[in-house]
Structure formats: structure tokens, C-alpha cells
A and B are shown apart, each in its own frame.
Chain A
Amino acid sequence: MKSLHLHVKGQSAKLMAESQESAGAGAPASTQNSWFKRYFIADANLNALCFVFILMAAVCALAFGSSMYSGANLQSMAFQIPEFGLIALGMMLAFLVGGIDLSIVANACLSGIIAGFILTGQWLPGLEEGSRIALAVVIALTLSTLMGLFNGILIATCAVSSLIATLGTMTFYSGIGMALTGGRSVVGFPDSFTSMGIAEVGGVPLIFIMFIAVMIIMAVMLEKTGNGRKLYLFGGNPVASLFSGINNKRMNLAAFTAIGFLAGLAGLTIIMRVNSAKVGYGDAYVFQSLIVCVIAGIHPAGGRGKVIGIGITTVLMQMAASSFTILQLSPYTTKLIWGLMLILVLGLTKDGRKLLNMLSQSLKKPAARRPAGSEDA
């Protein structure tokens, strides 16, 4: 009995080590390197991402020049990034545990609508403006977190697969929103609330600063704390995590609850910026956040990827969207480009290294010097 136990333990340690390795460059082997090296040089995917980013920035500079890099355009991009970035961060968490969450946008819309009802005084009338805003924010965030928790319970406790569970809750949440509003927008928020949405500190929008703060907190929690590492391990190899004494159920619950909180933040950001709450706002974000996760190197099978990748890719996507606007592309062409991009990136991350090797071999040059293990892309 004891030997069996030891055997299981030994195997799980091996699995854990494997999964740690596959979790990216955060492996303990590279701790003596500087953080920069660890973050950018050792991670092939992030490397490629930075390269693409610089390329994109250069192409935009050449093609559009001042219309892309004018202060006004940069600022409007900074206003639009947070709401989408928060949703992408939520989708990243779902990807990390090997799942998917289709209900993020529906959750964001519903919590936005409920905050809207309180802000306009349709619910809980007779409150002062200040306490009304505070109450709206608290209730919206609590409700969205609860909605995330509900997803988590469906997925972790009832063992429904996340795709189907969140498909159901997406329909359900947007159904509640529809039933409450009848499809109309909730308008007429107090000025002191909407002014937060357009406030800026030294030219940088306040909501953008909030987004950066959320990103830093998430990065620290995922990559520097024990629970964060456990989440990566669970996502990469649930069998190993189970035999390592990690409570898999709690990991799933935590991830989806956190997604709910992020969705609530996104919902508040949206209603702050557009000054109205409505079902169906930002439906395209579901698809776009999937693309962001795939480009950012968050593996759909779970356990791989970094927060900073999401940050870079969100900016990249916003630049692309901005250049589409400058080029006046039709929404259909935009759709074509997004779809093509998703398939291309998926193909390149699978066989891109092989293609590159074939190319370099045909050019009679020595093959890439990177160790075979570091490229899982």
C-alpha cells in the first residue's frame, strides 16, 4: 500500500514538473536570470508577440502616420481598451483552467443594466447621489461575482463542461437583462458617475489606469503566489494537480468567480463610457477576446500563458481596429480579417516552428539554436 502511495506521489511529482515546465518560463530553473530575460527572451511566444507588435507599430507609422499616432487617436484608443481588455483577461482565466467562458459579455451587460437601474433611481429611489453611485457599484460587482460563482458551481460541482454551461448561462443572463429592460437602453446616469468614465490623469484616462492596475494585480497573483501556480498546474494537468493534493473543484470555482468579478468591472466601465446600459452591447467581444487569448499564447487546453501577453495583444487588437476604422473597411471585411487571423495564428502556433525549420534548412543555414523544450508553440 505504501509503495503504491509512493509510486503515485513520484509520478505526480514528475507530472507536476512537466506541467510546470510547460507552464512557460516561470520555471524555477531560470530564477537566476533577470526578470527581463525571464519574461521576454526565454519565452518564444512572447518574443514573437513583441516582434509582431513592433512590426505592427512600424507599419502603422508608415501607412497612417499622424492619423494613427495623434494624441487624440491614442487617447481614444486608451478609452476603448479597458472594457475589452477586462473581458479578455476574464477569457484568459477561463483558458488557463482549460475551459471557455461565453457568458462574460452577457454578465457584463446584465451587471451594467442593474447598476444603471440603481443609478437612474428606478430601483431604490430616494437615495443621495453619492450613496447611489457607491451602492450601484457595490451591487453590480457583487451580482456579477455571484453570476461567475454560479458558472463555477455548474462547472465544478455539477461537472457540466464549461462551453455548454456558459452557453446556458449566457442565454439566461442576457434573458434576464432582456426581461428587465425589454430591449431598451437604460439612460440618464448622474453626471458625477459618467465623469469618472471620461476622467484623465495627466492625459491618461482613469479607466485605463484601472485596467493596468487590474492587470498587475492579476499577474502578481497568478505568477507569484502559490495559489496562482496551482491554477496553472490544474489547467495544464488536472490529474497531476489532483494527485498533488490540490482541490481541483476549488480551483475551477475560484477561476470562474474571478471571471465574474472582471465581467462586473467591464460592465461598469462600459456604462461609464457610453452613458447607457443595454442588452447586446459588445456581443462581438466574445469572439474578439477568444482571438486575443489565442494570439497572446494562452493555450486553449489550459495551463499556459501570461497576463502581459494579453496586455500586448489587447493594444495590438485596438491598433488593428483603429487602422480598420481609418481605412474605412466594412464590418464584413473586418470579420474576414479576424477569422483569417484566428485560423492563421492557430496554424502558425502549431506548425510555425516546423515551417521555420524547413525554411532555414532549405536555406542551408544551421537550424534554430533554441532548445527543443522551450518551444511548445
Chain B
Amino acid sequence: MSFKIARSEGILLAIIAAYCAAVAVINPAFLNIDTLFDLIRTSSRDLILVMGLLLIMLSGGIDISFMAMALVGSYCATWLMMKIGWQSAAVLIPCAMLISTIMGLCNACLVSWLKLPAFIITLGTMNLFHGLMATLVGTRTFGGGILPPSFSAFGSATLFEIEGEYGAVGLTVSIIPVIIVVVLTWFIIYKTMLGRGIVAIGNDENSAIRLGFKPLYLRLFAYGYIGALAGLAGSIYICQVNAVYPDKMIGEELMVVAGAVIGGTSISGGKGKIFGAILGVIIIYLLKSTLIFLGLSASWNNFFVGIILVLSLSFTAWQEKVRNDRHLLFKVESR
């Protein structure tokens, strides 16, 4: 296995390094192991989600209902556990993953049936899932006092601790599922027929069908996979914040999409790298958590994310257009 860094990812790495250097010069407090561990902890939910999103976007679709799935899966699982009386976080995760996977499969069926832009369909199901949950299960907030202690124990557990300037800081346990998911996604995309098929339908669905791939099954897998990951990510998130709100997480999905896109994932399918997607999410979280070091309030967050997004988008699209023009390919469908 050779690990080669592509040019776009090299640019992203350079941007991250330059930005970190700039922040460190302005505010030396940034250079602390604390910052790194905190970044890993807060971004672990979105790092898991972006892996599922990458698979979906490779298949030429998009799913923006994943935050709703994460919320509904973890909320319903918690609610069920409170009803039955189970206490362990080890039960929460598979429960939530199961519930979210079912929702993901619903998405896949709808996308395959309606043959319309997946964005519109999953926007509908996002509202549908959230509305169903709130109407059928309830809108109660489960605070830290009610939740089983195993949740917060899992959420705040650390692999190892280092004595920092401001006391001991530890690397969160959540990094283990993140690593597992990243490796699993890499394996699926590059080493299985399933993954190759998903990339194939993303590049050209008709050719993929003639090669013998079945788009329905591949979509079922891709949308089910993001469902399962959403359940996992949602459970990790509620363990980390140690509370279950009926309206959190929803509304943050576009930032994950932005992360994937900054990382060079193509919306029209077939193109995208795992490392790029990870870097994209990291950049967004880096901006989110370091503006305060620069003396800017959190209000500036969207401004900078927007600038980076627009710049990276126009840059990659422009490059592709120039390449297409040189090869006398004219693409009219990119509207």
C-alpha cells in the first residue's frame, strides 16, 4: 500500500500548516497539546459522518438527512433504553445504528424509485424523520442527571493522559471508532467490488449497469452505510455532551458537506479521496475553534468557511474546465 499525497491534498495541508503558523505567531497559547486533543474530540462525530458522505457522493448522490438520522437514531435508542432500563453505552451504539440504518435504506429506496436529485429527496426525508421522531417518541430533553452514567463515562474516557500546562489532558477514546471507520471505508472503496461498483455508478451509471453492477443494491448499501455511521456518530456525540436534545445536530449537516467538498469530493460523483475529506473537516473545525485565538468572535466563523469553500470550489472546477477544454470535451450537464 503506497500512500501518495495528491496535489489538492498537498494544497490543503499547506493551508492548514500556514494557518496554524499564523495563529501560533499571533497567539502562542495555540501551540498546546490541549488544542489538538480538543480538536480531535469535537471533530470525531463529523469525521465519522464524512466517511459515509464520501461513499454517497462517490455514487453520484448526496444525503443531507444524515444529521437527522444521527439525532433520531441516538434519541430513539436512548428513549428505548430508558424505557427498558438498560444502562450500558455498549447497547446504545448498536441500537442507534440499527434504527439509523433502516432510515438510510428508506432513503436509498426513495432515491432509486423517484430518480430525482437526491438533495431534494433527502431534504424531505430529513424533515420527515425528525418530525416523525418528535411526534411519535416525544420531545423530552434527557439531561445528564437522567442518562445512565456509562454514557458520560464513555464520552469522557481517554486513551492516555499527558501532563499539560493546565493540568492533565487526554486523548479521547472516540478516536478509536473514527480510525476503525476510516480504515473500513478505505477497505470498502478500494478493496471490494462493492466499493468499485459505487465509484462506477458515480462515474457513469449506464456503463456500470452494462458491466453488470446493480445500482439499486449499491445504493442500498451506500445509503445504509451512512445510516449506520450516523447512528454511531450520534451516539458518540450524545455521550460526549452527556445530554440528548430533540433538536440538536440538525442544521449542521451542510458544514459536513462543505468539509467533503473542500476536500475535493465531486458532487457529480466518482471523484473523492478519504484523506481529502478528513482534511476538509479538520479545516472547518480548526477555523471554528481557533478564531477565538485570533481575537475574533464566533460570528466570523461562517465568513471564513464561506471564503474557503467558494475559493476551493471555483479553483477545482476551473481546473477541470480548463482540462476539459484542452481535451475538447464539452460538459453541458454541469449546471
Contacts and interface: CB of A to CB of B under 8 A. Distances in A.
B126 A339 contact: yes
B131 A335 contact: yes
B120 interface: yes
Contacts of B320: 159
Contact of A336 (B117, B134, B257, B313): B134
Interface residues of B, number: 55
- Main DSSP-derived SS at the A contact region: helix
Contacts of B115: 350
Interface string A340-375: 101100110010000000000000000000000000
Given A168-B310, A179-B303, A336-B134, A342 B120 contact: yes
Contact of B321 (A99, A159, A332): A159
A39 B332 CA distance: 31
A138 interface: no
Interface string A280-294: 000000010011001
Interface string A145-188: 00000000011001111111101111111111011011100000
Contacts of A350: 113-116
Interface residues of A, number: 56
Contact of A159 (B116, B134, B334): B334
A256 B40 CA distance: 39
Contact of B128 (A97, A178, A336): A336
Nearest to A169: B310
B335 interface: yes
B135 A336 contact: yes
Contacts of A347: 113-114
A173 B305 CA distance: 11
Residue with the highest number of chain B CB atoms closer than 10 Å, among A167, A291, A342: A167
A21 B33 CA distance: 65
Given A154-B310, A159-B331, A175 B127 contact: no
Contact of A290 (B62, B114, B123, B300): B123
Given A97-B335, A154-B314, A343-B110, A335 B130 contact: yes
B335 A330 contact: no
A339 B127 contact: yes
B313 A165 contact: yes
Given A171-B309, A175-B306, A342-B124, A162 B318 contact: no
Given A100-B119, A168-B306, A346-B124, A158 B317 contact: yes
A239 B114 CA distance: 24
B17 to A, nearest CB: 23
Nearest to B309: A168
A257 interface: no
Contacts of B1: none
Contacts of B139: 330, 332
Nearest to B127: A339
Interface string A254-298: 000000000000000000000000000000000100110010000
B123 A287 contact: yes
Contact of B305 (A100, A171, A338): A171
Contacts of A342: 120, 123-124, 127
Interface of A: 97-100, 154-155, 158-165, 167-176, 178-179, 181-183, 238-239, 242, 248, 252, 287, 290-291, 294, 300-302, 330, 332-340, 342-343, 346-347, 350
**The 7 nearest A-B residue pairs measured at CB:** A336-B131, A172-B306, A332-B134, A175-B302, A339-B127, A175-B303, A339-B128
